[in-house]
């Protein structure tokens, strides 16, 4: 009768060993995929800078956006191992190239944008190109972060290891069950066929219904309804349908990326936050006019984001504080003129005013949260001042350097 005890110890050891195999196989697969993603990112960065060099030199010898120039970009993209799409923007327009048609670029208001919301779409690299005859020429590229062929290989290896462990566990369980059945049969024969439990006893244990206290909790008890409501309020897509501009929640991440890019190329950056002051939420039509004028003046829709019910935030890369103030004054005059026109023709209530607050990087290695706080403080001062509608936060370089030194110490 000692065999079942020994077999249960063996099965426990095998079960523990199988669990270790599962964990090791999954961990190995995850590590290999993460390492592969890092290697592809490095390769994508190298290919992007090679593409930038090719685009710069080709514009000189072949002519910017000539047929030969475009063929050169397409050939490079077709031979690339990682790059999926390229967008080249200049004052003359935006041009998009894809490795596969419809794979990574969508057009919004005659403007190409990389598809978002896919975990394997990767991040965008940016590089300004000084091309003669073109102003503010920018090249962007996105890349596939996952090598699917390599991932399939790793997943096959992981699956084989897990299946092997499952087969071993199944065989062990089958052997243990066979040994236990033989032991029970031998015991029944020795006791004259009585196993020690009457059939009526087993039936009585299952006659009573399941107590109400053991019933499964309802979906409301787990808060599933509130989760569904929260999902409906989450951003869907790249742009907010109310103003056809970026969602408020995307502002911080995009500003962080732009600050990192500008600091890499020693460029300045201005962040503006503005608001139509009104006692109530402005109408959708008025807000749409507000955002449309912002897109017309500041050009890049993907750098304009919503801010509450009546405001917007704008990122101006490669611009200093003077540029931001000048552009803000022009925008303020345009919006006030529009409000006066609409007030006369559509009866919009008077008293709506536009206030603008802005701040700039000014050579600082600054975080997005800090820059947003500076611009918001400037906006609040503009709202509180009955005369001044535009307030700029101007940093003190000496105080900033002292602040950095004190933090280092």
Check whether residue 9 and residue 122 sit in a common domain: yes
* 103 and 178 housed in the same domain: yes
- Report how far residue 250's alpha carbon sits from residue 255's, in angstroms, rounded to the nearest whole number: 9
Tell me, what's the pLDDT at 185?
Answer: 56
First vs last Cα of the chain: how many Å apart? 74
Stretch 384-393: mean pLDDT, rounded? 90
Same domain, 112 and 248: no
The whole-angstrom separation of Cα 246 and Cα 314 is 10
pLDDT value at 122 more than 50: no
Which of 157, 173, 191 is the C-terminal boundary of a domain?
Answer: 191
Residues 181 and 260 in one domain: no
Closest CA to 143 of 99, 112, 90, 89: 99
One DSSP character per residue, 3-71 reads HHHHHHHHHHHHHHHHHHHHHHHHHHHHHHHHHHHHHHHHHHHHHHHHHHHHHHHHHHHT-TT-HHHHH
Spatial separation of the C-alpha atoms in residues 291 and 240, rounded to whole Å: 11
CA neighbor of 306 nearest in space, from 360, 381, 252: 252
- For range 70-91, the mean pLDDT: 82
Contact 86, 97 (CB under 8 A): yes
Highest mean predicted confidence (pLDDT) among 234-238, 343-347, 387-391? 387-391
Query: Are residues 113 and 251 part of one domain?
Result: no
Considering the domain architecture, whether residues 27 and 147 belong to the same structural domain is answered as yes
Residue 381 covered by a domain: yes
In a domain, 250, yes or no: yes
Smallest Cα–Cα separation from 47: which of 139, 165, 116, 118? Answer: 139
In a domain, 216, yes or no: no
126 pLDDT above the threshold of 70: no
Quick one: 44 and 123 in the same domain? Answer: yes
pLDDT of residue 208: 37
Same domain, 377 and 258: yes
Residue 207 lies in a domain: no
Structure-token match 């008890």, residue found: 221
Question: How many structural domains compose the chain?
Answer: 2
For residues 172 and 318, state if they share a domain: no
Flag whether 79 is in a domain.
yes
Last residue of a domain, one of 155, 172, 191: 191
Same domain membership, residue 250 and residue 153: no
Domain end position, chosen among 124, 158, 191: 191
Residue 118 lies in a domain: yes
Task: Determine which of 63-67, 179-183, 214-218, 285-289 has the lowest per-residue pLDDT on average.
Answer: 214-218
CA–CA gap between residue 135 and residue 41 (Å, rounded): 29
In percent, the amount of the chain with pLDDT more than 90 equals: 23
Do residues 184 and 254 share a domain?
no
Q: Kindly report the CATH number assigned to the domain that includes residue 380.
A: 3.30.70.270
Range of the domain at 363: 239-408
Q: Which of 350, 348, 349, 353 is nearest to 383 (CA)?
A: 353
* Helical H segments across 191-305, by residue range: 199-205, 224-233, 251-264, 284-298
**Domain for residue 225, yes or no?**
no
User: Residue 348 pLDDT > 80, yes or no?
Assistant: no
Q: Please check whether residues 51 and 162 belong to one and the same domain.
A: yes
At residue 344, does pLDDT exceed 80? no
In a domain, 218, yes or no: no
- The pLDDT of residue 216: 39
């Amino acid at each position: 009768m000692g065999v079942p005890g020994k077999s249960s110890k063996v099965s426990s050891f095998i079960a523990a060993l199988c669990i270790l195999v599962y964990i090791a196989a999954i961990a190995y697969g995850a590590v290999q995929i993460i390492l592969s993603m890092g290697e592809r990112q490095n390769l994508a960065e190298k290919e992007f800078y090679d593409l930038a060099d090719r685009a710069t030199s080709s514009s000189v010898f072949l002519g910017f956006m000539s047929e030969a120039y475009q063929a050169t970009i397409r050939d490079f993209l077709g031979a690339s191992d990682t790059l999926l799409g390229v967008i080249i923007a200049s004052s003359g327009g935006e041009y998009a190239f894809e490795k596969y048609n419809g794979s990574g670029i969508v057009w919004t208001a005659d403007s190409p944008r990389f598809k978002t919301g896919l975990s394997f779409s990767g991040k965008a690299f940016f590089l300004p190109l000084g091309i003669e005859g073109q102003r503010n020429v920018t090249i962007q590229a996105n890349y596939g972060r996952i090598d699917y062929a390599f991932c399939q290989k790793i997943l096959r290896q992981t699956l084989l290891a897990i299946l092997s462990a499952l087969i071993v566990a199944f065989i062990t369980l089958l052997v243990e069950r066979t040994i236990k059945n033989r032991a029970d049969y031998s015991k029944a024969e020795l006791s004259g066929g009585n196993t020690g439990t009457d059939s009526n006893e087993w039936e009585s244990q299952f006659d009573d219904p399941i107590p109400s206290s053991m019933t499964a909790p309802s979906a409301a008890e787990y808060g599933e309804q509130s989760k569904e409501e929260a999902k409906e309020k989450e951003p869907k897509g790249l742009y907010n349908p109310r103003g056809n501009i970026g969602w408020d929640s995307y502002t911080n991440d995009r500003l962080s990326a732009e600050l990192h890019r500008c600091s890499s190329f020693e460029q300045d950056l201005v962040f503006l936050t503005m608001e139509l002051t009104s006692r109530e939420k402005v109408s959708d039509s008025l807000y749409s006019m507000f955002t449309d004028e912002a897109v017309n003046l500041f050009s890049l829709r993907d750098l304009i984001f919503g801010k509450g019910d009546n405001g917007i935030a704008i990122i101006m890369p490669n611009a200093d504080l003077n540029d931001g103030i000048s552009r803000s004054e022009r925008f303020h005059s345009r919006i006030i003129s529009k409000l006066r026109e609409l007030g006369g023709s559509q009866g919009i209530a008077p008293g709506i005013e536009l206030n603008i607050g802005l701040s700039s990087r000014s050579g600082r290695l600054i975080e997005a949260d800090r820059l947003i706080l500076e611009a918001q403080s400037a906006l609040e001062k503009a709202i509180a001042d009955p005369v001044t509608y535009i307030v700029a936060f101007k940093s003190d370089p000496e105080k900033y350097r002292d602040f950095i030194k004190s933090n280092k110490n």
